[in-house]
Structure 1
Amino acid sequence: MSARRSALALVLAAAALALTGCAPTVSLDPAADANDPGCAEISVRLPDSVADKDRRQTDAQATGAWGDPAAVLLRCGVPPIGPTTKPCVDVSGIDWVLMSDPAAKQVVYQTFGRTPATEVVIDHVSGASDAAVLPEFASAIASVKQTEKCLSTLDTTLTPPTATPAPTPTPSR
């Protein structure tokens, strides 16, 4: 009888484990440079939860997904961007450029000044907010050295051009 109970307990435990970890794998396309060693450094440091949403399995290298349905997506190895007029914000020491319309249902941020670059997509419909999501990635993204700072128009100072004095005509005699 105890062998039956043990077998039943094992079956019930396996069923419970299967039901709790059964969220389907999130299908993503890897970024062009997903095999960059910096992406491996970021990937191993990704948090288990973001904005109170649990991490899910993905099927692509250097990617992450949180929430069911996925509310936050991450891809490391996207092409870095150069100087831009798009809004840039420093969140916990990481420069992020807002790549999409801030009023969109899904917004896209990309790191600035780090290679490989990382992209994060936040689904606002799910209730995830930029302020709750972006700080969660600071320690993972910080594992890749920043080589360039993002400046806003408020950070730059314009110096007026120096006036070159015009030659003064000398009176002729």
Structure 2
Amino acid sequence: MGALLVGLAACGTVTVPAGPAASDPLCAEIVLGAPHQMLGLERTETSSQGTVAWGSGEDTVVLRCGVEPPGPTTDACTRLEDPSGVQVDWIVREQDGIVLLTTYGRVPAVDISVPRSVAPDQPSAAALDMGRLVDATIPAIDHCVGAGDVS
């Protein structure tokens, strides 16, 4: 996993690379529907279409919509369910203190990068907070499967 490069421009805007399908109309719905707070951090302006950020500096949570949908993988894939029963599958990777969660089985895909410094015990809380919006906006066309699910 390549580390997601995030920087701050002089005006306080978080510089975030856009995903290849960031202009998908579904991404506009995700960005518009994203909460004003995430993990106790306030929403911050971003430099690219299809992106949302909360926080500043190294303590910035970043969402990118329109990233390349992951194919079959041996990376951890987990189904997160919120208290109301909404379920979204996420591929989970970690590198250099950043947890990257990417939707699985949805096009366009959404990824959320969460520094461990922001959520040391439960970085998946950001994905849980976005689950209802992702599920209502981008229909699931596939789901995670494990070795026990394949005959």
TM (norm. structure 1) is 0.71
| Residue of 89, 99, 102 corresponding to 2:78 | 89
Unmatched tracts of structure 1, length 5 or more: 1-22, 159-173
Relative to structure 1, is the Cα distance of residues 131 and 33 closer, same or farther in structure 2, using a 3 angstrom cutoff?
closer
Q: Which has the higher strand share?
A: 2
Separation in 2 of the partners of 1:44 and 1:153? 37
Q: Which amino acid aligns with 2:99?
A: V
Structure with larger Rg? 1
- How is 1:8-23 mapped onto 2 (pairs within 5 angstroms)? none
RMSD between aligned residues: 1.7
Identity of aligned residues (%): 29
TM (norm. structure 2) is 0.80
**Corresponding residue for 1:137?**
130
Residue 90 of structure 1 aligns to a residue whose secondary structure is: strand
Residue 95 of structure 1 aligns to a residue whose secondary structure is: strand
Q: Are 2:137 and 1:149 aligned?
A: no
Q: Which has the higher helix share?
A: 1
Unmatched tracts of structure 2, length 5 or more: 1-10, 82-86
Separation in 1 of the partners of 2:18 and 2:108? 13
After TM superposition, give the deviation of residue 131 of structure 1 in Å: 3.4
**Corresponding residue for 2:103?**
111
After TM superposition, give the deviation of residue 116 of structure 1 in Å: 0.2
8 A Cα contact 1:87 1:152, kept in partner: no
Aligned residues: 133
